[in-house]
Structure 1
Amino acid sequence: MLGFKIKTALQASILFTFGFWLLFFLSEGELFSFFLIMIFFYCFFGNVIYGVPVSLLSEVFTKNLAIWRFPAAAFIHTILAAVTYFIMEGFAFYILIASVLFFLVDEWRKWDREMPGGWRIALNAAGLLIACLLPMGGFWMLQQADLEEKTHDLYLIPKGYAGQVRIVHEIENAPVPVTEGKYDVFRVNDRGYAITSLPQSEGYIDDLYYYVDEKGKREAISESCISYGGSGGVQGDGYEYSYTYFSVGCDENMDDQGTSPGIEDILYEEGLINQTFD
């Protein structure tokens, strides 16, 4: 049985590599690349250490099934391959393809003695589509969610500050933007605002919030102490500015924490407009 599965892994790996070669040939016009050899060995290694055990496990769970053994085995192969998204996100799509190829080659090699005939083939074909499409559909939705744009902002807020925080965007003479990894850093002053030359971030909120003391020591702010706000804009004679805002503070009653300056007051303090409004 193990030798049978190893041969299946070898054949499935050849098919997988051939698919890559075909794409490579059509896109690059070249007949050979050392990269293809690496793909074959990686695929064969993965099929042996992952595909073979999954296939043996599938045999155990489906051996007593009659009509629905084929789609049930397909489901086991594909769903376990899809789970690798949470472990090896960048390779999960290729693992899923390799898993389907391994399953199809395995079934083809034992077709004569185990596959049903007649109307049962149609039922199994329908079951196969459902068993494969469900994990693939779930995997696709996970990938789509991951591709959604996210905000990556990091806020440094004076320790002890509580109240609304405003960030005024796209100010030409603002300090040069600072980044930490994939995060844009916004250093909020003790008045509760910051100006930046950066535009507003868009997407799902994936931001970091820190209190910072006079020595620069940071303390992460609990998510429960952040009240997400939104964005706004203000315009007047010869000017137009946009801003984002949120509130920080862990006390239930934020009214006792005082108020930060309004957006017009901020613009006035920064010399961006020449008057304030009540």
Structure 2
Amino acid sequence: MMKQCVAAAFFLFVLAGCTTNSAANDIYLIPQNYEGNVYAFYNVKGAPEIQKEGDYQVYTINEEGYFATSTPDMDYRLVTDKYYYVDENGERTRINEDCVRGMGAGSFENGPESVNQIKIKYTGIEVTKNRCGQEFKDSGNGMAQDDVEPVLAKVVARYYGVDLIE
């Protein structure tokens, strides 16, 4: 009987492992004609949870180039993201993957000893219309703090009422 229980437990463990999605399935909905850096900020107090479409998490990017969510953290798995431009009617147009490059991830922490601690994680991509291709994808050198800081400051001001720019 013990062997049967161990075998059954092993089978269930393997079956569960087979059904677990090992990919970070994200859909980025980017305003039509947007070009530049796009950011997703996680663990933002008062921001909405990430919505889902099937197995994909949906990031609706605003006109300022970012999405904020109260979801604590991003997925750290195989990236299988899809990118779309969205017009004013909600119609989606797929963005060529050669026009998108990842910029990495980062974090911000303010007041680690405070009751009002801010601890945000973020990731970013860059979208282009005119420089698409392997050269564009290979030429990225990460996320520049000078680019992300003004956007992060907007998120912190909006959701926490704190001015990071003094």
**What TM-score do the two structures reach when normalised by structure 1?**
0.43
Aligned to 1:175: 48
Matched, 1:213 2:87: yes
Aligned to 1:233: 107
**Alpha-carbon spacing, 1:25–1:239, altered in 2? closer, same or farther (3 Å):** closer
In terms of fraction of residues, the more helix-rich structure is 1
Aligned to 1:49: none
Aligned to 2:4: 27
In terms of fraction of residues, the more strand-rich structure is 2
**What TM-score do the two structures reach when normalised by structure 2?**
0.70
Paired residue type of 2:83 = Y
Equivalenced residue count is 135
Paired residue type of 1:168 = F
Contact residue 46 and residue 159 of structure 2 kept, 8 A: no
Aligned to 2:144: none
Cα deviation code 1:106-158 (max 9, x no counterpart): xxxxxxxxxxxxxxxxxxxxxxxxxxxxxxxxxxxxxxxxx893211111000
Where relative contact order (Cα < 8 A, 6+ residues apart) is larger, the structure is: 2
Contact residue 45 and residue 159 of structure 2 kept, 8 A: no
Paired residue type of 1:241 = I
Consecutive aligned runs of 4 or more in structure 1 exceeding 4 Å deviation? none
Structure 1 unaligned segments of length 5 or more: list them: 1-23, 30-146
Could you tell me the percent identity over the aligned residues?
Answer: 28
Distance 2:127 2:29 in 1: 11
RMSD: 3.0
Aligned to 1:165: 38
Distance 1:177 1:161 in 2: 21
**Alpha-carbon spacing, 1:217–1:25, altered in 2? closer, same or farther (3 Å):** same
Structure 2 unaligned segments of length 5 or more: list them: 7-19, 112-116, 137-146
